[in-house]
């Protein structure tokens, strides 16, 4: 369920006025729960998943340690993921995404995406 919410969010147009209503409708139609999720519950669940600490690797050094991300940077990363399709050349895609996220490098954007994806897989 968490994977669906996050995946659908990343695929949605960032900042859309009715984005969370659309997501809650999608989740409720797909999962057919007895107690449907409201838009606020979907937002809360998404934030729990995104803000969950990634599994720490004991061999991780300062160079590969996760960096702090602001809510605005996360939104810009999501917007970049929606704007630049994964059919693009990987280096070109991630460079374009990173250009839209102030204060973050291409590597930091890729690492953030991978950390979120791994957190979702483990849920």
Tokens of 111: 């690492």
Contact (Cβ atoms closer than 8 angstroms) between residue 43 and residue 8:
no
Report the chain's terminal Cα–Cα distance, integer Å: 9
Q: Per-residue confidence at 60, pLDDT binned at 50, 70, 90?
A: very low
Domain edges within the chain: 2-51, 71-121
> Under the phi-then-psi rule, with left for phi > 0, alpha for psi from -120 to 50, and beta for the rest, what region is 98?
alpha
The correct CATH number of 71-121 out of 3.40.50.1000, 1.25.10.10, 1.10.10.60, 3.40.50.300 is 1.10.10.60
Mean pLDDT, residues 86-110 taken together: 94
Mean pLDDT, residues 10-24 taken together: 63
Please state the pTM of the whole predicted model.
Answer: 0.48
Tokens of 101: 């996220």
């Amino acid at each position: 369920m968490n994977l669906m919410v996050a995946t659908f969010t990343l695929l949605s147009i960032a900042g859309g006025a009715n984005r969370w209503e659309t997501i809650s409708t999608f989740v409720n139609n797909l999962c057919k729960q007895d107690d449907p999720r409201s838009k606020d519950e979907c937002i809360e669940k998404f934030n729990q998943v995104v803000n969950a600490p990634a599994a720490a690797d004991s061999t991780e050094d300062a160079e590969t340690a996760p960096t702090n991300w602001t809510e605005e940077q996360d939104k810009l990363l999501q917007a970049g993921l929606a704007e630049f399709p994964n059919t693009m050349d990987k280096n070109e895609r991630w460079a374009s995404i990173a250009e839209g996220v102030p204060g973050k490098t291409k590597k930091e954007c890729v690492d953030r995406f991978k950390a979120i994806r791994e957190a979702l897989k483990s849920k």
